[in-house]
Structure 1
């Protein structure tokens, strides 16, 4: 089978499309014929070696953790799914023709494979950080870098829970944030004052890692009311860095519920062929996205 891998840490040029042995489902796992793989910032962060001190991996290594596809192998002890079922979920080395998933859910009928591949990690992350920051119905949540995949999920989940959201994004994405129910403003000079004009902030999320942790603390009045998923230096200022995955099966089940009720839709901004995984990483790292990027296998 074909898969994307890298034999050394570095820039996107270290990615290679290679022939590899097919993986097989172990106990509690399934294997899918991958139709589409999701692109997440953690994919290029791992490729760059950012997590080697905390979560080392052996090289050469595959890439990717999200995918949607068709079940073609079911591991021991797995029930409720069989070959031929369309599913989406979380696994390993998903930039490939076949991948093993450790958490999955049956795809809602109104989703395409391209759309479904963009949900697993962003929904799990969104649910986790909303819980960790402790924001409640009736309160206001500030989301810095709100137009990407996680931000799109946070805004819609928050709205479903009765949480008011203020989102920052580039000028081109202001209408997009408003369509998701947020009060929108641009980042850049004077953004703190613009946020204050929109209302009091009870909690804040840093999704972009753009060096705004001090300002988020200032706006909330308490570092414990701020959570970051993108700034590795956040703990030095007393802010929680959320990088440990939570309950993925539960998150997928909640995603299915939200999607089925029409409360959650994350658009696909751009699709790439498997051979252009490097371009997908370059674009993901550049940010300013609206929704998700995916790789079509």
Structure 2
């Protein structure tokens, strides 16, 4: 098969489109012919070496977490799937024409959702959902502020919090206020507007997708006994707020939840914007575009 292979850390140009051996489905696994995968920040952070302390690459390596495609083979012991099924999953090594994934981690693509467009969903939707449900454990009637709300993870978090019955404040930049009005949050606030932030009262929880100085500021807006969930680790000033529980979140596979989120997207209850689709052999260009930021998902078509 063809795959995008990483032989060394570096810029987008180090991603090489090469022939590699076909993977084989083992016990409890599916072999999937990929329709598409997508570019996530962890991909280019691993490629560059920025994330090597926590996510080192064993060279030669294949990046990619999002799987969307058609089952080619079913491994021993697998039930509920058969060749020809369209599936999505959070897995690994998805910058390739063929990928193996645990059957328990895969969900069938719901009717009404294009399998290619479904590639945008696994990592960002599960991260946003788990940031809210596991990171903040928000309850009905509580108030949660979600930073970076117009991003893909943020959008998923807003939708999850609304489904939980929480009062949701979408935190964005001033220039994103109009776009954020379409998210369905109860309130929208500009995190880079000093006067607006000074007027903001205490909240039960913050779901942070931004980090840095913004996260440090928002930690001070969580009431005593509240929770600060983050996909970027604890804010630098976490020790100054000992009464706030800080919970780091890293997405894990959850097929049932992924299926439910995919059904919500298929029903247009919330949207994960797709900016562009590029061939898998142009993964470097796709990563370069995504790394600049400010755009929707970049899909890689296998």
What TM-score does the superposition give when structure 1 sets the normalisation length?
0.88
After superposition, the C-alpha distances for 1:50-85 in whole angstroms (9 at most, x for unaligned) are 443334331110010112111101111111111111
Return the offset for 1:189.
4.8
Report the CA distance between 1:260 and its aligned residue: 5.9
Query: What does residue range 165-244 of structure 1 map to in structure 2 within 5 Å?
Result: 165-182=168-185, 183-190=187-194, 193-195=195-197, 197=199, 200-222=202-224, 225-230=227-232, 232=233, 234=235, 237-238=238-239, 239-243=246-250
Point out where structure 2 has 5 or more consecutive residues left out of the alignment. 240-245
- The 1:274/1:247 distance shift into structure 2, 3 A limit, reads closer
Q: Equivalent residue for 1:147? A: 150
Please tell me whether the aligned partners of residues 9 and 48 of structure 1 are also in contact (alpha carbons under 8 angstroms): yes
Matched pairs, number? 292
Q: Is this contact kept in 2: 1:88–1:117, CA < 8 A? A: yes
CA distance in 2, matches of 1:44, 1:9: 10
CA gap of 1:198–1:235, structure 2 versus 1, over 3 A, is closer
- Give deviations 1:194-244, integer Å, cap 9, x for gaps: 2454654221122123432220111114596212213x563762533323x
- Pairing of 1:80-91 with structure 2 (within 5 A): 80-91=80-91
Task: Tell me, yes or no, if the aligned pair for 1:169 and 1:288 is still in contact at 8 Å.
Answer: no
Partner of 1:294: 299
User: What's the CA shift string for 1:72-99, capped at 9, x where partnerless?
Assistant: 0111111111111111112221111111
CA distance in 1, matches of 2:159, 2:143: 14
Q: 1:252 aligns with which of 258, 261, 264?
A: 258
Q: Map 1:8-47; keep pairs closer than 5 Å.
A: 8-47=8-47
**2:95 pairs with 1:92:** no
Task: State whether residues 136 and 228 of structure 2, in contact with CA within 8 Å, keep that contact through their aligned partners in structure 1.
Answer: yes
Structure 1 residues not aligned, in runs of 5+ = none
Q: Residue 186 of structure 1: CA displacement?
A: 3.0
Question: Over aligned residue pairs, what C-alpha RMSD do you find?
Answer: 2.4
Worse-matched range after superposition: 259-268 or 137-146: 259-268
1:134 aligns with 2:137: yes
Which segment drifts farther, 145-154 or 41-50?
41-50
CA distance in 2, matches of 1:148, 1:114: 20
Instruction: Give runs of ≥4 in structure 1 deviating > 6 Å.
Output: none
CA distance in structure 1 between the aligned counterparts of 2:71 and 2:83, rounded to whole angstroms? 5
Range with bigger deviation, 265-274 or 139-148 = 265-274
Q: TM-score, normalised by structure 2?
A: 0.87
Kept in 2: contact 1:140–1:203 (CA 8 A): yes
